Amino acid sequence: MQTTTNSLVTVSEMLPEHYPQVQDIYAHGIATHNATLETTAPGWEEWDNKHMKSCRFVALTEAGAVAGWAALTPVSGRCVYRGVAEDSVYIHPAHKGQGLGKLLLQRLVEASEREGVWTLQAGILKENQASIKLHGQCGFRVVGIRERLGQLHGQWRDVCLMERRSNITGL
């Protein structure tokens, strides 16, 4: 297992035993109404089946607590899109502003390229300027705004579609 360390956390592969804390962080994101259109964090089995097994990471504090997580979801089951995935990055509210999102997203980009992913995409609610900025810092560009893409609590929401093309994979 490859790990990345900064002075605050160690980034390592997500294990099933991390999921209760991952689920809690996801629930915090859901509660902001600006992180996702989802309204509940799924159980482990549903989450595990949806996400790529090789591209999921946690940022662990020195005490072993999960401070944030990142993972990839394939955008399609069709073989022609096997190199396209959507990222998710969530940071616990107590650990925001410490650079963990960037650390996790950079690690996710590196892992995705090793796995043959040539395009990463992110669908970010338009109001989530922190996530849009983070993705821009990690090489993503805005493709466009998908207006009224989904509803959250009866209100239509616009989604900023961003993508990052690999300079290594898929050339």
**CA pair distance 62, 76, nearest whole angstrom:** 37
**CA pair distance 155, 163, nearest whole angstrom:** 26
The pLDDT, as a whole number, for residue 1 is 42
State pLDDT tens for residues 55-104: 999 999 999 999 999 999 999 989 888 999 999 999 999 999 999 999 99
State pLDDT tens for residues 5-34: 556 789 999 999 999 999 999 999 999 999
Domain assignment present for 170: no
Domain assignment present for 65: yes
Structural domain count of the chain = 1
Q: Which one, of 114, 62, 61, 105, lies nearest residue 83 by Cα?
A: 114
Q: Which one, of 21, 161, 40, 17, lies nearest residue 91 by Cα?
A: 21
Mean pLDDT of the region 155-159: 96
Query: What's this model's pTM, rounded to 2 decimal places?
Result: 0.92
Domain assignment present for 125: no
The pLDDT, as a whole number, for residue 171 is 66
Range of the domain at 77: 4-120
